[in-house]
Chains A and B, each alone.
Chain A
Amino acid sequence: MSEIILKLENITKVYSNGVVANKDINIEFGKGEIHSVVGENGAGKSTLMKIIFANEKQTTGNIYYNGEKINYHSSLEAIKNGIGMVYQHFMLIPSFTVAQNIILGAEPIKGGLFLDKKQGVEITQELAKKYNFDIDVNAKVQDLTVSAKQKVEILKTLYRDAKVIILDEPTAVLTPQETEALFEQLLYFKELGHTIIFISHKLNEVKQISDKITVISNGETKGTFDCDDVSIDQLTELIIGRKLENTFDVHKEEVEKKPLLTVKDLSFKESGVYKVDNISFTVDSGEILGIAGVQGNGQEELVKMITGLLPQDSGIVEINGKDVSNFGIKTRRDSGLSYVPEDRMVDGVAAAASVSENLISTYYSSDEISGKFFMKDKNIINLSKDLIKRFYIRTRDENSRVDSLSGGNIQKVVVAREWKTSPLIMVAEQPTRGIDVGSARYIHEELIQMRNDGKGILLISADLNEVMSLSDRLLVMYDGKIVGHFDDVSKITENELGLYMLGTKKQSEDELRRAVHE
């Protein structure tokens, strides 16, 4: 058995609002092992990691690092001693460049006094290259996509040369290719004797990369397993306490076809380069149109133009037959649009507001919520309770602040709200990002139900499994253009899709034109 580098002994954590997030947790992490921690949303994984990283303090219990009992007062101390962490929610400074963010707190110094900017840029460039992350180190973080931000977070931790690397759902927004690249890196680190603690809801990834797997449920450990001793099905059962059917009901009901979202010749140019290049497609009632693609190929901009958060340079957006090209998001929402945004913490919630305040933000002026001036508190409470139950949002009550929820539960708040607006067309960007297998299944079922009820759904996801199993039709985006359109998703393989996503293959104009329904 390998040497123990980190040992948790009877860790219990009670948050100030009285939530018991961890109960008597005992785990041993070996040197040079990849150790996954899995569990439902709100099980207490992030909390436990924050405790190791000295970002939260355990209420009782001890941590031993290299055999010594440690009691760090801040994460800075943890970093100094070789513990690094990539948070589930980004901790980057938006107005700083990628390079500045990465070297922050450990900047190269010139002449003993001044920051060496140039060297900082060079170091980060090298770092990115070494780990095969394609990223512009001079870009400002606020302009990056979510997956790019994730890469910056990972690089930041790698830069500090941590002996123990904690990764809290690093792959939630990465594409399979990017995940592969990251895994290669992790394996390399493991060779070098680093310990990696890995959190993910994607159990196939967990199975693929781990040596050990610890399951946490309701704040308690259900045991640590050798990866080879447990199957994905067993893990699922340990995590959600029940079996999950491998296939689920995606049957389609025929509904009257009617275009709900039409996009015509949509383009967006940034510093002279087309980010979105002349894109046209239609989403009909009763269908889920998926968009696959490596992140950063124009999907974000396309979605922002459809939802009205970004003015298009040219082209037309129609929602339910109404031209909304020149209107903002309010008008579009009023016309029947709802939108699950990519970055839940930036757009999706007001973190310091309560769960119920977050659950009504997109339809607060409806009759159900508001009279002429006053809000109907009773209705808000009832409706919140209902949504909390329906979407398994784990929270103390509807008055808890959203930032006291776990990442996956925050995501559920966003999805529940957008579902509740009873949209005609839902634009769902990574709708199950960070959501555990059980709840993800539920959300998928809700999406399918919506489709069968005659709604339209535009699904954008880095999770190929998700787009392929839910979509009725599929578009592939590469370099701002649509390069593939598939009427029957069951006829394509993941590999083939990959070729389109990487721009190696492209369909003819004729084939692509079918994406538009006249």
Chain B
Amino acid sequence: MSKQDIKTLKKIKWTDDKPFSFLQLIASLFIALIVTFVVLLIVSDKPTKDFVDLLTYPLQSKFFFGYVLIKMVPLCFAGLATLLYFKSGLFNLSTEGIFYICGVFCTIVAVNENFMTGNSFVDSSLAIIIPGLLGGLIALGPGILKAKYNTGEMVISLMLNSILFGIGFYIVKTFLAVEGITGNASAPFIESAKLNIIIKGTQVHSGFILMLIAVIAVYILLYKTTLGYQIRMTGLNKNFARYSGMSATGLILIVHFLAGFLGAAGSSIELLGIYKRFSWTMLPGLGFTGALMTMLGKNHPIGVLIAAFGISYLRASAQLLANSSAVIDVKLISLVEVVLTLLISSQYFLRNWRNKKLIKEEITHE
């Protein structure tokens, strides 16, 4: 490291907005973990071991860590889709239903010989892009309602979720389910449609890379393009956007389509990456989880990526430990998530510290 580098490193001012957010995140995490520990103290007879396990279990083998990485993929996609909505000022949670029904669409493509060419790149792409486009089109529904009639997107999106689930489940039961398997599950996906494993000894598949690409793409879209600029300004102040000459109608439609596409792509990638066949019989809960990712990620695509990793780590750890520990399960993690959300979305957390620090710095500067 050169002297210059050291100098700039030293120059990080924790009171500046971005470092401060980071600090807030770390501190929140710390507190959330303490809360977890306290709960373990109450419910577990070997709290320390359980706690250490929870924190370190995924690090104990390559396979486990890989599990964390693949489990973050759907979280991240859902987070990115919701982020687009939130950035444009729309509180839409339809990623939930889109995720389910587009999983069904993906299955239709991926179990059907007629769609498949045998080339694994082409087949996977088809099985991701076709549901993706359909997901975008479905999301346009509430988009049009919003743009034309200014309907409340929150309610519409929640209703849409139930409808999409109903339709999806009906398709699975009547057209896709194969006999001989309990529950309603489809035939196995054709091998060439599945995503390849990219790290040996783990389940990590190429969908992980697609996720990273999606994060970068959303970042660039939001912060480097004219479209993203319009989306953000509309989200911050609709009147201002209109006054400036931006067309809300067009933007709302584009955002819905893109978010629908992202949700759908996330669903297909999840299916083709780690499942053999379609067997979902419930909504995945990703609408709310997507909102959680955006909130924890401070409304930023990179933040969403970090949040997805963090939550995935804890959830995966809990899942992996569920068999060996009597008290740890995914519900415990919900608690951590709640505490984190509260702390991170609070403006007041650590504010006093920041103020005191600022006083010291600025006054001595004078």
Contacts and interface: CB of A to CB of B under 8 A. Distances in A.
A348 B240 contact: yes
B233 A353 contact: yes
B242 A352 contact: no
Contacts of A59: 355, 358-359, 363
A348 B240 CA distance: 6
Contacts of A12: 363
Contacts of B247: 330
A373 B226 contact: yes
Given A60-B359, A348-B243, A357-B233, A20 B226 contact: no
Contacts of B239: 346-347
Given A18-B15, A352-B236, A361 B362 contact: no
Interface string B218-232: 000000111101101
A377 B228 CA distance: 13
Given A16-B358, A341-B243, A350 B224 contact: no
B180 interface: no
Contacts, number: 90
Contact of A339 (B17, B243, B359): B243
Contacts of A146: none
A504 interface: no
Interface residues of A, number: 37
Given A17-B17, A349-B237, A329 B243 contact: yes
A158 interface: no
Interface stretch (A172-180, A362-370, A464-472, A475-483): A362-370
Interface string B226-257: 11011011001101111111110000000000
B361 interface: yes
B225 to A, nearest CB: 5
B224 to A, nearest CB: 5
What's the dominant secondary structure at chain B's contact region? Answer: helix
Interface in B309-366: 351, 354-355, 358-359, 361-363, 366
Nearest to A369: B226
Contacts of B241: 350, 361
B363 A60 contact: yes
B236 A347 contact: no
Given A361-B233, A373-B225, A14 B358 contact: yes
A333 B229 contact: no
Contacts of A350: 233, 236-237, 240-241
A309 interface: yes
A370 B226 contact: yes
A375 interface: yes
A374 interface: yes
A370 B226 CA distance: 7
A341 B239 CA distance: 11
Contacts of A347: 239-240, 243
A14 B226 contact: no
Interface residues of B, number: 31
A351 interface: yes
Nearest to A372: B226
A14 B366 CA distance: 12
A54 B185 CA distance: 62
Contacts of B225: 373-375
B237 A351 contact: yes
Contacts of B232: 353, 357
B16, B227, B230, B362: which has the most chain A beta carbons within 10 Å? B362
A301 B221 CA distance: 37
A23, A60, A374: which has the most chain B beta carbons within 10 Å? A374
Interface in A289-312: 309
Given A16-B15, A373-B227, A309 B236 contact: no
A328 B243 CA distance: 10
Interface string B44-55: 000000000000
A515 B132 CA distance: 59
A373 B16 CA distance: 31
Given A16-B355, A60-B359, A309 B242 contact: yes
Contacts of B354: 16
Interface in A231-250: none
B226 A361 contact: no
Interface string A51-73: 00000010110000000000000
Contact of A14 (B16, B236, B237, B362): B362
Interface in A1-27: 12, 14, 16-18, 20, 23
A329 B358 contact: no
A350 B362 CA distance: 29
B9 to A, nearest CB: 20
B228 to A, nearest CB: 8
A357 B359 contact: no
B245 A357 contact: no
Contacts of A333: 245
B361 A362 contact: no
Interface in A340-399: 341, 346-353, 357, 361-362, 364-365, 369-370, 373-375, 377
Given A333-B245, A348-B240, A350-B236, A18 B229 contact: no
A184 B355 CA distance: 42
Nearest to A57: B355
Contacts of B366: 20, 23
A374 B233 CA distance: 16
Contacts of B243: 309, 329, 339, 341, 347-348
Contact of B361 (A18, A60, A370): A18
B362 A357 contact: no
A415 to B, nearest CB: 14
A329 B245 contact: yes
Contact of B240 (A60, A361, A375): A361
B15, B245, B361: which has the most chain A beta carbons within 10 Å? B245
B245 A362 contact: yes
A127 to B, nearest CB: 30
A329 B240 CA distance: 12
Interface in A76-97: none
Contact of A353 (B17, B236, B355, B363): B236
Contacts of B355: 14, 16, 57, 59
Given A329-B243, A369-B226, 20 more contacts: A14-B355, A14-B363, A16-B354, A20-B362, A59-B359, A59-B363, A60-B363, A328-B245, A329-B245, A330-B246, A333-B245, A348-B243, A361-B244, A364-B244, A370-B226, A373-B227, A374-B224, A375-B224, A375-B226, A377-B224
26 contacts: A14-B359, A14-B363, A16-B15, A16-B358, A18-B361, A57-B355, A59-B359, A59-B363, A60-B359, A60-B363, A328-B245, A329-B245, A334-B245, A350-B237, A350-B241, A352-B236, A353-B232, A353-B233, A353-B236, A353-B237, A357-B233, A361-B240, A362-B244, A364-B244, A365-B226, A375-B229
4 interchain residue pairs of minimum CB distance: A330-B245, A350-B236, A361-B244, A350-B237
Interface of B: 15-17, 224-227, 229-230, 232-233, 236-237, 239-247, 351, 354-355, 358-359, 361-363, 366
